[in-house]
Amino acid sequence: MKHFIYDDPEQCRRIWYATYPVNHIWDLWEVRSCFHEVYQKPLQFHTIQNINRIVGLLPLSWNEETGQYVFFPGETWKGKTWLEQNRIIAENGDVFYQLLQHVPNSLYLRYLTWHPFLSDLEETQADEVGYLFYPGLYDFIFENYWLGFSGKTRKKIKSELKRLEDQKITFRFDEVKDLDQMFLMNRISFLEDSYFDDPRFYNSFDRLASMLSDMGMLRIVTVLIGGRIAAVDMGGVFKNTCTMFAGGTSQEFCGVAKLINLHHMEWACRKRLDEVDFLCGDFNWKERFHLSPRPLFQIRLDKIIGAYVEVNHEKQTICA
């Protein structure tokens, strides 16, 4: 087996298409390209090849801001990558280790999906936790989910929503022009902590929305109260999963965040989706709304690994 490094974007694209399993929206080259085209981080795709067959892939980008290799496409917000459910592709533990060993500098991989190979690496640490809604847990009946709240909680939420309903709630869907208001409301709410305070992230998301729209995967939900935009969320639907990427709410309408999130879950039950992925970060509501946690992991190597514990050598591909 031989180790190869590729840095030509077209070669990297072909390797990704040939090697990287597409199970989630994050696995699409087109999604990651939206960020790569803006950030323009130098590529370094590591492969382990057995004759002409790729048996391992570690797709990296160089982050000059931190002096580390990170997972492709190397998009960063406040120095850390953002795209989730990253995977190292390897047929066995030896290949997995070789990929890490050949990286020529510090390495910081975030948001890795779990695989047993990670347990044999002492540098593996817990990262953030993603939160998902599984309609099948409630037989695709939203009322079953709603009854999982205590009577006191249901009463409190209904009271908040009633105040909004009295002002006349309406929804509209897939209006791309509403994303401008989403970006604005997000920046007003979070100020310098908004993702979109960084022009690179904003431009990447603008490209992402256009790409998803062209592929028929974009989902935009807009809540209007009294005819005014109160909340906008942007998601993508792929393989019967809706991934909610970002949102913005008006500070004028207390409780509208609960309203739009409950709408996503009710819609997912009606459409019989497999899951709604609300991504990492609790933001003080995801656990309270009984979403299912999914831990993700990170590897941080500040120097070459000096020791290796042998693991299972059975042929397999790392996948979520």
183 lies in the same domain as 243:
yes
User: C-alpha 294: how far from its chain's center?
Assistant: 12
Task: Give the range of the structural domain holding residue 46, as residue numbers without chain letter.
Answer: 2-129+295-301
**In this structure, is residue 289 part of a structural domain?**
no
118 lies in the same domain as 244:
no
The torsion region of residue 57 among left (phi > 0), alpha (psi -120 to 50) and beta comes to beta
85 lies in the same domain as 118:
yes
**In this structure, is residue 71 part of a structural domain?**
yes
68 lies in the same domain as 142:
no
Q: Tokens 């009294």 — which residue? A: 226
**Amino acid 303: pLDDT:** 59
- pTM of the full predicted structure? 0.90
Q: State which H helix or E strand residue 185 sits in.
A: helix 178-190
**Amino acid 170: pLDDT:** 97
CATH number for the domain spanning 19: value is: 3.40.630
Quick one: DSSP state of residue 3?
A: E
**In this structure, is residue 268 part of a structural domain?**
yes
**In this structure, is residue 160 part of a structural domain?**
yes
**Amino acid 320: pLDDT:** 26
149 lies in the same domain as 81:
no
122 lies in the same domain as 191:
no
Asked if 238 and 217 count as a contact pair (C-beta separation under 8 A), the reply is: yes
**In this structure, is residue 310 part of a structural domain?**
no
Asked if 112 and 118 count as a contact pair (C-beta separation under 8 A), the reply is: yes
Profile the chain (320 residues) by mean pLDDT over runs of 10 residues.
96 97 97 98 97 95 95 93 96 95 95 91 92 98 96 95 95 97 96 94 97 98 97 98 97 95 98 98 87 96 49 28
Q: How many domains does the chain fold into?
A: 2
**Amino acid 304: pLDDT:** 46
Helix (H, G, I), strand (E, B) or coil at 98: helix
CATH number for the domain spanning 260: value is: 3.40.630.30
